[in-house]
Amino acid sequence: MFIDEAKIRVKAGDGGNGCLAFRREKFVPRGGPSGGDGGKGGDVIMESSERHNTLVHFRFNPEYRAERGRHGEGANKTGRDGGDVVLKVPVGTIVYDEETGEKIQDFSAPDQRMVIARGGRGGRGNARFATSTHQAPREHEAGRAGEERVFRLELKLLADVGLVGFPNVGKSTLISRISAARPKIADYPFTTLEPNLGVVAVGDASAPDQFSFVVADIPGLIEGAHSGAGLGTQFLRHIERTRLLVHLVDVSDSSGRMDVIDDLEVIMRELKSFGSGLDEKPMMMVASKIDIASKDKLTKLKHYTKRRKLPLYPISAVTGKGIEELKWAMAKKLDDIYSSEASARTGSEVEKVADKSLTKP
């Protein structure tokens, strides 16, 4: 089961009440006030974990409460703090405030932690109110209430490459050939009902420079997907984080769709309409099912990609033709993208240092 959205209610622990007490012992003259403070309520903490890959555990248990602080006691004893609650979420989870819609946190890396609900402060006991002129105070405080909030969790897969295209163009078959992923494969539309991730390794496994990357098989898109048609925006969000898009086009005679150029432009319009810069991501074109290809479709696709200077890779996931070339091409393109991003980050850091040096007196 793949669950990529959930709504949870969290309640941090209340603070313990301060104590009203006076110390009266045989050998302690003028014992005075001895009420201890209440303990702090427990926090609700969220932490990203690589051991989780869905939000299904929140679907079946949507409410979480941290422990309240223990009340203060006599003899100036402070109450014990309440225990925290730690919620584990998959890497790629975005947390939104359900009431305001504000984005609270984007867990884009493992082991990130954030307090999403703070426990209440413990109340002060009457010993805290003693002064030289007020030596027998009866004032004491109740513990503060812990925060109570409702959050919406949204999971966006963290993949380097996203496979896009119409239903039944061969995305699931391709990811099964280039990785260890085993998605459901059948000859009817919308076979894939949830995204599949596969790790692709390029090069010798024993070599230190082996390159590996993660590919996401996104369920088939159709016209109107950006507004919810088909599987719609449920899965378009999962390619927002990808660095590279691989667009598969079915050029076989068995395909029910006759105009490959129209297919291409429909998908491109959907990516642009969804926003988030999907249409501006680097893209590679793949002509799938060339073992039973229509010459007219393949020729049209070659002319289209040549005019737009898009690299085209004809493959057959059944026979394996062109698979290795495509794997190396994806690895090379990703390596170039990561190198460019690293250079850009280094350049911006140098500029910041230069700016700081100019402002020195």
CA distance 135 to 137: 6
At residue 12, the pLDDT reads 97
- Give the whole-number percent of the chain exceeding pLDDT 90: 39
What is the average pLDDT value for the chain, to the nearest integer? 82
Cβ neighbours, 10 Å, residue 190: 13
Both tokens assigned to 236:
């378009």
CA distance 245 to 92: 18
Structural domains of the chain ordered from first start? 5-155 (2.70.210.12), 161-345 (3.40.50.300)
In sequence order, what are the residues at sequence separation of 6 or more whose Cβ sits closer than 8 angstroms to the Cβ of residue 19?
A: 35, 36, 37, 38, 71, 72, 73, 74, 77, 125, 126, 140
Cβ neighbours, 10 Å, residue 361: 2
At residue 9, the pLDDT reads 96
At residue 234, the pLDDT reads 56
At residue 267, the pLDDT reads 81
pTM across the whole model: 0.67
The residue among 63, 69, 46, 44 whose CA lies nearest residue 120 is 69
User: Digits of tens for pLDDT over the chain (361 positions)?
Assistant: 455 789 999 999 999 999 999 988 777 777 789 999 999 999 999 999 888 877 888 888 899 999 999 999 998 999 999 999 999 998 889 999 999 999 999 998 889 999 999 999 999 999 999 998 998 899 999 999 999 999 999 887 778 898 888 877 888 888 888 887 665 444 434 444 466 778 788 877 555 566 888 888 877 554 544 444 444 445 567 777 788 999 988 888 776 666 788 878 888 887 888 767 778 889 999 999 888 888 888 899 999 999 988 899 999 988 889 999 999 999 999 989 888 888 877 766 555 545 544 443 3
Cβ neighbours, 10 Å, residue 200: 22
Mutual angle of helices 323-358 and 171-178, in 10-degree steps: 80
Question: DSSP letters along 51-65, please?
Answer: T---SHHHHH--EEE
Cβ neighbours, 10 Å, residue 336: 12
